[in-house]
Amino acid sequence: MPVVYLPKEGDRKEMYRELLALAKELREKYDIRFSRDAKDELEALYGIMKALYEITRMEWDERKTEKKKKRKSKPLKKGIERTLLFVKPDGVRRGLVGEIISRIEKAGLKIIGMKMVWLGEDWAKKHYPDEMAAKIGAKAKKAFLAQGKEFPWTEEEYGKAILEALRRYVTSAPIVAIAIQGPRAISKVRAMVGDTAPSKAAPGTIRGDFSCDDYEWADVQTRSIYNVVHASDSEGAERELKEMFSEDELYPDYTTLYEELLGEF
Protein backbone atom coordinates (compact mmCIF):
# COMPACT_ATOMS: atom_id res chain seq x y z
CA MET A 1 0.00 0.00 0.00
CA PRO A 2 1.36 3.47 -0.81
CA VAL A 3 2.63 5.63 2.06
CA VAL A 4 0.95 9.01 2.46
CA TYR A 5 3.23 11.70 3.85
CA LEU A 6 1.19 14.26 5.82
CA PRO A 7 2.30 17.88 6.05
CA LYS A 8 4.12 19.21 9.10
CA GLU A 9 2.11 19.54 12.31
CA GLY A 10 1.48 23.27 11.87
CA ASP A 11 -0.10 22.82 8.43
CA ARG A 12 -2.45 19.91 9.17
CA LYS A 13 -5.42 21.78 10.68
CA GLU A 14 -5.62 24.12 7.71
CA MET A 15 -5.40 21.18 5.31
CA TYR A 16 -8.23 19.36 7.15
CA ARG A 17 -10.41 22.48 7.09
CA GLU A 18 -9.92 22.88 3.35
CA LEU A 19 -10.62 19.20 2.72
CA LEU A 20 -13.80 19.32 4.80
CA ALA A 21 -14.96 22.40 2.92
CA LEU A 22 -14.22 20.65 -0.38
CA ALA A 23 -16.08 17.55 0.83
CA LYS A 24 -19.15 19.62 1.72
CA GLU A 25 -19.05 21.39 -1.66
CA LEU A 26 -18.76 18.09 -3.57
CA ARG A 27 -21.52 16.48 -1.50
CA GLU A 28 -23.90 19.28 -2.38
CA LYS A 29 -22.80 19.53 -6.01
CA TYR A 30 -23.24 15.82 -6.74
CA ASP A 31 -26.07 15.23 -4.24
CA ILE A 32 -24.07 12.57 -2.38
CA ARG A 33 -26.29 10.85 0.19
CA PHE A 34 -25.20 8.93 3.28
CA SER A 35 -26.95 7.00 6.03
CA ARG A 36 -28.94 9.00 8.61
CA ASP A 37 -26.29 8.61 11.33
CA ALA A 38 -23.33 9.49 9.14
CA LYS A 39 -21.21 12.53 9.73
CA ASP A 40 -21.75 13.95 6.26
CA GLU A 41 -18.58 15.97 5.77
CA LEU A 42 -16.36 13.27 7.29
CA GLU A 43 -17.97 10.61 5.08
CA ALA A 44 -17.38 12.78 2.04
CA LEU A 45 -13.81 13.44 3.18
CA TYR A 46 -13.24 9.69 3.42
CA GLY A 47 -14.59 9.31 -0.11
CA ILE A 48 -12.25 12.03 -1.41
CA MET A 49 -9.23 10.45 0.26
CA LYS A 50 -10.17 7.06 -1.17
CA ALA A 51 -10.56 8.55 -4.64
CA LEU A 52 -7.20 10.31 -4.31
CA TYR A 53 -5.59 7.01 -3.37
CA GLU A 54 -7.14 5.23 -6.37
CA ILE A 55 -6.08 8.02 -8.76
CA THR A 56 -2.53 7.96 -7.36
CA ARG A 57 -2.39 4.17 -7.61
CA MET A 58 -3.53 4.26 -11.24
CA GLU A 59 -0.91 6.93 -12.02
CA TRP A 60 1.80 4.77 -10.45
CA ASP A 61 0.66 1.73 -12.44
CA GLU A 62 0.73 3.78 -15.65
CA ARG A 63 4.23 5.03 -14.86
CA LYS A 64 5.43 1.48 -14.20
CA THR A 65 3.95 0.28 -17.49
CA GLU A 66 5.49 3.21 -19.34
CA LYS A 67 8.86 2.55 -17.70
CA LYS A 68 8.70 -1.11 -18.72
CA LYS A 69 7.91 -0.19 -22.31
CA LYS A 70 10.77 2.29 -22.47
CA ARG A 71 13.41 -0.03 -20.92
CA LYS A 72 15.54 -1.53 -23.67
CA SER A 73 19.02 -2.94 -23.48
CA LYS A 74 21.69 -0.71 -24.94
CA PRO A 75 23.94 -2.18 -27.64
CA LEU A 76 26.88 -4.01 -26.09
CA LYS A 77 30.24 -2.27 -26.20
CA LYS A 78 33.11 -3.80 -28.14
CA GLY A 79 34.60 -6.74 -26.27
CA ILE A 80 31.59 -7.05 -23.94
CA GLU A 81 29.50 -10.22 -24.14
CA ARG A 82 26.46 -11.78 -22.52
CA THR A 83 26.11 -15.43 -21.69
CA LEU A 84 23.92 -17.88 -19.83
CA LEU A 85 24.99 -20.11 -16.98
CA PHE A 86 22.55 -22.27 -15.12
CA VAL A 87 23.04 -24.38 -12.04
CA LYS A 88 21.74 -27.82 -12.97
CA PRO A 89 19.44 -29.93 -10.77
CA ASP A 90 22.33 -31.71 -9.02
CA GLY A 91 23.96 -28.36 -8.16
CA VAL A 92 20.68 -26.97 -6.79
CA ARG A 93 19.95 -30.10 -4.74
CA ARG A 94 23.47 -30.06 -3.28
CA GLY A 95 23.16 -26.42 -2.19
CA LEU A 96 25.93 -25.11 -4.46
CA VAL A 97 24.03 -22.11 -5.88
CA GLY A 98 25.60 -19.60 -3.48
CA GLU A 99 29.13 -20.90 -4.14
CA ILE A 100 28.66 -20.56 -7.89
CA ILE A 101 27.16 -17.06 -7.69
CA SER A 102 30.08 -16.05 -5.45
CA ARG A 103 32.62 -17.20 -8.05
CA ILE A 104 30.89 -15.22 -10.80
CA GLU A 105 30.86 -12.07 -8.65
CA LYS A 106 34.44 -12.50 -7.42
CA ALA A 107 35.63 -12.77 -11.03
CA GLY A 108 34.18 -9.29 -11.62
CA LEU A 109 31.48 -10.45 -14.00
CA LYS A 110 28.12 -8.69 -13.83
CA ILE A 111 24.94 -10.60 -13.04
CA ILE A 112 22.13 -8.97 -15.03
CA GLY A 113 19.38 -11.55 -14.46
CA MET A 114 18.67 -14.54 -12.25
CA LYS A 115 15.75 -16.85 -11.52
CA MET A 116 14.83 -20.36 -10.34
CA VAL A 117 12.87 -22.41 -12.87
CA TRP A 118 11.61 -25.97 -13.02
CA LEU A 119 12.11 -26.72 -16.69
CA GLY A 120 9.49 -28.68 -18.59
CA GLU A 121 9.68 -31.32 -21.31
CA ASP A 122 9.05 -28.77 -24.09
CA TRP A 123 12.04 -26.66 -23.04
CA ALA A 124 14.25 -29.75 -22.73
CA LYS A 125 13.36 -30.91 -26.24
CA LYS A 126 14.08 -27.46 -27.61
CA HIS A 127 17.41 -27.22 -25.78
CA TYR A 128 18.42 -30.80 -26.62
CA PRO A 129 16.75 -31.34 -30.04
CA ASP A 130 16.75 -34.68 -31.87
CA GLU A 131 18.86 -33.07 -34.59
CA MET A 132 21.83 -33.21 -32.19
CA ALA A 133 21.69 -37.01 -31.95
CA ALA A 134 24.04 -37.89 -34.83
CA LYS A 135 26.65 -35.33 -33.76
CA ILE A 136 26.59 -36.51 -30.13
CA GLY A 137 26.68 -40.15 -31.21
CA ALA A 138 29.68 -39.53 -33.48
CA LYS A 139 31.56 -37.85 -30.63
CA ALA A 140 30.76 -40.74 -28.30
CA LYS A 141 31.85 -43.30 -30.90
CA LYS A 142 35.18 -41.54 -31.33
CA ALA A 143 35.75 -41.62 -27.56
CA PHE A 144 34.86 -45.34 -27.38
CA LEU A 145 37.22 -46.28 -30.22
CA ALA A 146 40.04 -44.14 -28.79
CA GLN A 147 39.84 -46.27 -25.62
CA GLY A 148 39.84 -49.51 -27.65
CA LYS A 149 36.19 -50.24 -26.84
CA GLU A 150 33.52 -51.60 -29.12
CA PHE A 151 30.70 -49.34 -30.24
CA PRO A 152 27.76 -51.69 -30.93
CA TRP A 153 25.19 -48.96 -31.67
CA THR A 154 24.55 -46.62 -34.56
CA GLU A 155 25.60 -43.03 -33.93
CA GLU A 156 21.97 -41.91 -34.24
CA GLU A 157 20.51 -44.34 -31.67
CA TYR A 158 23.29 -43.75 -29.15
CA GLY A 159 22.90 -39.98 -29.57
CA LYS A 160 19.14 -40.22 -28.99
CA ALA A 161 19.70 -42.23 -25.81
CA ILE A 162 22.07 -39.53 -24.52
CA LEU A 163 19.58 -36.77 -25.39
CA GLU A 164 16.81 -38.60 -23.54
CA ALA A 165 19.02 -38.95 -20.47
CA LEU A 166 19.91 -35.22 -20.63
CA ARG A 167 16.23 -34.27 -20.81
CA ARG A 168 15.36 -36.43 -17.78
CA TYR A 169 18.26 -34.92 -15.87
CA VAL A 170 17.54 -31.24 -16.60
CA THR A 171 13.83 -31.60 -15.73
CA SER A 172 14.36 -33.67 -12.56
CA ALA A 173 14.50 -30.65 -10.18
CA PRO A 174 14.65 -26.84 -10.41
CA ILE A 175 17.57 -25.04 -12.01
CA VAL A 176 18.88 -21.54 -11.23
CA ALA A 177 19.50 -19.53 -14.39
CA ILE A 178 21.99 -16.64 -14.35
CA ALA A 179 22.45 -14.07 -17.12
CA ILE A 180 26.02 -12.71 -17.10
CA GLN A 181 27.67 -9.73 -18.79
CA GLY A 182 31.30 -8.70 -19.02
CA PRO A 183 34.52 -8.62 -21.05
CA ARG A 184 34.70 -11.86 -23.09
CA ALA A 185 32.08 -13.26 -20.73
CA ILE A 186 31.38 -16.40 -22.83
CA SER A 187 34.92 -17.77 -22.81
CA LYS A 188 35.56 -16.53 -19.26
CA VAL A 189 32.56 -18.38 -17.85
CA ARG A 190 33.38 -21.56 -19.76
CA ALA A 191 36.93 -21.42 -18.40
CA MET A 192 35.55 -21.04 -14.88
CA VAL A 193 33.21 -24.01 -15.41
CA GLY A 194 35.87 -26.48 -16.60
CA ASP A 195 35.78 -29.70 -18.62
CA THR A 196 32.40 -31.32 -19.32
CA ALA A 197 33.57 -34.43 -17.45
CA PRO A 198 34.20 -33.32 -13.85
CA SER A 199 36.77 -36.12 -13.40
CA LYS A 200 38.90 -34.32 -16.01
CA ALA A 201 38.13 -30.74 -14.95
CA ALA A 202 41.04 -28.81 -13.48
CA PRO A 203 41.10 -27.98 -9.76
CA GLY A 204 39.85 -24.43 -9.26
CA THR A 205 37.08 -24.81 -11.84
CA ILE A 206 33.47 -25.24 -10.74
CA ARG A 207 33.22 -28.82 -12.03
CA GLY A 208 36.73 -29.69 -10.87
CA ASP A 209 36.00 -28.50 -7.32
CA PHE A 210 32.41 -29.62 -6.90
CA SER A 211 32.08 -32.94 -8.74
CA CYS A 212 34.07 -36.07 -9.58
CA ASP A 213 31.52 -37.72 -11.91
CA ASP A 214 32.70 -39.35 -15.13
CA TYR A 215 31.12 -40.52 -18.40
CA GLU A 216 32.09 -44.15 -17.85
CA TRP A 217 30.56 -44.23 -14.37
CA ALA A 218 27.44 -42.45 -15.64
CA ASP A 219 27.13 -45.03 -18.47
CA VAL A 220 27.25 -47.86 -15.94
CA GLN A 221 24.25 -46.29 -14.22
CA THR A 222 22.55 -45.41 -17.54
CA ARG A 223 22.17 -41.74 -16.67
CA SER A 224 23.45 -38.36 -17.78
CA ILE A 225 26.70 -37.12 -16.31
CA TYR A 226 26.13 -34.85 -13.29
CA ASN A 227 28.36 -31.86 -13.91
CA VAL A 228 26.73 -29.15 -11.75
CA VAL A 229 26.35 -26.33 -14.30
CA HIS A 230 25.67 -25.48 -17.94
CA ALA A 231 27.52 -22.63 -19.66
CA SER A 232 26.62 -21.43 -23.16
CA ASP A 233 29.20 -21.51 -25.92
CA SER A 234 29.70 -18.73 -28.47
CA GLU A 235 27.25 -20.32 -30.92
CA GLY A 236 24.43 -20.75 -28.42
CA ALA A 237 24.78 -17.88 -25.93
CA GLU A 238 22.44 -15.37 -27.56
CA ARG A 239 19.78 -17.96 -28.42
CA GLU A 240 19.87 -19.65 -25.00
CA LEU A 241 19.62 -16.34 -23.17
CA LYS A 242 16.49 -15.46 -25.15
CA GLU A 243 15.01 -18.89 -24.39
CA MET A 244 15.54 -18.38 -20.65
CA PHE A 245 15.02 -14.62 -20.09
CA SER A 246 12.71 -12.02 -21.58
CA GLU A 247 14.10 -8.52 -22.17
CA ASP A 248 12.17 -7.26 -19.11
CA GLU A 249 13.96 -9.78 -16.88
CA LEU A 250 17.43 -8.41 -17.65
CA TYR A 251 18.84 -5.49 -15.65
CA PRO A 252 22.16 -4.36 -17.14
CA ASP A 253 21.76 -0.67 -16.32
CA TYR A 254 23.47 -0.55 -12.96
CA THR A 255 27.15 -0.06 -12.21
CA THR A 256 29.17 -2.54 -10.15
CA LEU A 257 32.08 -1.37 -8.01
CA TYR A 258 34.42 -3.35 -10.27
CA GLU A 259 33.14 -1.37 -13.28
CA GLU A 260 34.26 1.81 -11.51
CA LEU A 261 37.80 0.46 -11.88
CA LEU A 262 37.60 -1.12 -15.35
CA GLY A 263 35.04 1.14 -16.98
CA GLU A 264 31.32 0.48 -17.36
CA PHE A 265 30.29 -2.57 -19.36
Amino acid symbol at 250: L
Question: 230 an active-site residue?
Answer: yes
Give residue 129's Cα distance to chain centre: 23
Which of the following is catalytic: 82, 127, 188, 230? Answer: 230
Contact 137, 159 (CB under 8 A): yes
Q: CA 206, 169, 121, 158 torsion: positive or negative?
A: positive
Residues annotated as catalytic are 230
